[in-house]
């Protein structure tokens, strides 16, 4: 028996080492490939996919780059799990019209996927116009967008030089589709045919989506509220990872205001459908996000510095804001 216990010692030691490593946080994201995205993101590809995907059935479609899940009748999550962003676009199919909330990275053929899921030529509306949400915009005819300068600038597309880093080594972990080349990757320009305002209702026939302008992550960030079904498509305003309030165009004060507004709707919403990581989260996160921003605004919360920004950690997510030495009270 004693021999057995002794022989277990190296194994137990190994377990202890592994456990303590898991709890470790690094101050800097030391992956030379993925920078400025928060601590610990360097091993994004070794993290298991979130278990919440398992409750949904995959919808058959022909492209290995995408994984499409049927979230609810008429709601498809179109996931790109082979890329660091783990971005999710949503197709919402109505009896009269369909709406595509984001078009992904532009690596796979988003238009091709959509044609396998609906006969409609969908209205495209972007949760915001960062590169990973507008990559397929150019192939669709009807594009709605926010009326901001940020949107107009991004609608001009992004040159290869501007986005080459996002398809470089360390960012992609799945065979890319034939025809794609990281040497020529760019974001094609697109034209916004109609602007949306706060409170606008988009009628799909059996479903109405309400536009909520929620600036903060970007000036043109917006959420879609499906009141009748108690769902909120949150875009990048909330997902269960590092929330970015540190990129160019982000505004921590506006983000805080948007978080407050969304938390005020929590009694009318059951589920959140975010644009990254996971397609289905309880709405209580809206309250946690508001509380988190208020704690940050309070100025006394602890943070780590990661790539020169402050990263504040909370249960189930974190928030990255610019570091402003000597000014940790007002982040407006
Ligand atoms: Zn974004």
**pLDDT tens figures, 87-143:** 999 999 999 999 999 999 999 999 999 999 999 999 999 999 999 999 999 999 999
- C-alpha 255 – ligand 1 centre gap (Å): 13
Other C-beta atoms closer than 10 Å to the C-beta of 128 total: 28
Look up residue 114 and give its two tokens. Answer: 């959509």
pLDDT score at 295: 96
Helical spans, DSSP H, in 67-175: 110-117, 131-134, 149-154, 160-163
Domain 35-241+266-284 CATH assignment equals 3.60.15.10? yes
- C-alpha 1 – ligand 1 centre gap (Å): 57
Per DSSP, which regions of 184-252 are E strands? 194-196, 201-203, 208-213, 222-226, 231-235, 242-244
- C-alpha 13 – ligand 1 centre gap (Å): 42
Q: Are strands 98-101 and 123-125 parallel, antiparallel or unpaired?
A: parallel
Contacts of 127 (CB under 8 A, 6+ apart): 101, 102, 133, 221, 222, 223, 233, 234, 235, 236, 237, 275
Residue 244's φ and ψ, nearest 5 degrees, are -100, 110
- Which SS3 state, helix, strand or coil, does residue 304 take? strand
Compute mean pLDDT per 10 residues along the chain, 332 residues long, and list them: 50 44 39 67 72 93 97 98 95 98 98 98 98 98 98 98 94 93 97 98 98 98 98 97 93 97 98 97 98 94 92 95 59 43
Residue 24's φ and ψ, nearest 5 degrees, are -75, 145
- C-alpha 4 – ligand 1 centre gap (Å): 54
pLDDT score at 206: 98
pLDDT score at 23: 33
Strand partners, 223: 212
- C-alpha 87 – ligand 1 centre gap (Å): 9
- Sign of the Cα pseudo-torsion (104, 110, 111, 116, in order): negative
Contacts of 227 (CB under 8 A, 6+ apart): 208, 210, 268
Rg (CA), the chain: 21
- C-alpha 85 – ligand 1 centre gap (Å): 9
Separation between Cα atoms, residue 257 and residue 242, nearest integer Å: 18
- C-alpha 130 – ligand 1 centre gap (Å): 5
- C-alpha 269 – ligand 1 centre gap (Å): 23
Contact 126, 138 (CB under 8 A): no
- C-alpha 92 – ligand 1 centre gap (Å): 20
**pLDDT tens figures, 247-280:** 999 999 999 999 999 999 999 999 999 999 999 9
- C-alpha 8 – ligand 1 centre gap (Å): 48
Separation between Cα atoms, residue 71 and residue 73, nearest integer Å: 7
pLDDT score at 45: 73
Provide DSSP, 242-280: EEE--STT--HHHHHHHHHHHHTTGGG-SEEEESBS-S-
- C-alpha 20 – ligand 1 centre gap (Å): 32
- Cα–Cα nearest to 214, from 240, 233, 231: 233
Q: What angle do CA 189, 180, 152 make, to 5 degrees?
A: 15
pLDDT score at 7: 55
CA atoms within 13 A on the CB side of 247: 19
Separation between Cα atoms, residue 24 and residue 26, nearest integer Å: 7
């Amino acid at each position: 028996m004693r021999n057995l216990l002794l022989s277990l010692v190296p194994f137990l030691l190994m377990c202890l080492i592994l456990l303590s490593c898991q709890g470790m946080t690094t101050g800097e994201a030391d992956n030379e490939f993925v920078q400025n995205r928060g601590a610990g993101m360097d091993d994004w590809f070794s993290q298991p996919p979130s278990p919440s995907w398992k409750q949904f059935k995959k919808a058959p479609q022909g492209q290995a780059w995408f994984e499409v899940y049927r979230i609810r009748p008429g709601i498809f999550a179109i996931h790109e799990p082979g890329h660091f962003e783990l971005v999710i676009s949503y197709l919402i199919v109505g009896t009269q019209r369909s709406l595509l909330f984001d078009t992904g990275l532009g690596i796979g053929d988003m238009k091709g996927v959509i044609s396998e899921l609906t006969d409609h030529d969908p209205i495209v509306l972007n949760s915001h116009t960062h590169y990973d949400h507008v990559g397929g915009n150019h192939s669709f005819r009807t594009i709605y967008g926010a009326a901001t300068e940020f949107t107009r600038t991004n609608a001009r597309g992004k040159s290869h030089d501007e986005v080459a880093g996002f398809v470089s080594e360390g960012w992609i972990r799945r065979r890319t589709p034939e025809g794609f080349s990281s040497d020529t990757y760019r974001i094609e320009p697109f034209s916004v045919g109609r602007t949306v305002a706060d409170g606008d209702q988009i009628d799909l026939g059996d479903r109405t989506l309400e536009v909520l302008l929620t600036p903060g992550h970007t000036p043109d960030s917006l959420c879609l509220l499906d009141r009748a079904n108690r769902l909120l498509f949150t875009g990048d305003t909330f997902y269960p990872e590092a929330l970015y309030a540190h990129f160019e165009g982000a505004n921590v004060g506006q983000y805080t205001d948007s978080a407050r507004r969304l938390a005020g709707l929590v009694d009318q919403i059951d589920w959140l459908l975010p644009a990254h990581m996971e397609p289905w989260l309880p709405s209580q996160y809206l309250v946690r996000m508001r509380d988190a921003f208020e704690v940050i605004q309070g100025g006394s919360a602890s943070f780590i510095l990661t790539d020169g920004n402050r990263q504040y950690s909370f249960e189930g997510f974190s928030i990255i804001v610019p570091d402003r030495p000597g000014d940790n009270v007002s982040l407006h």
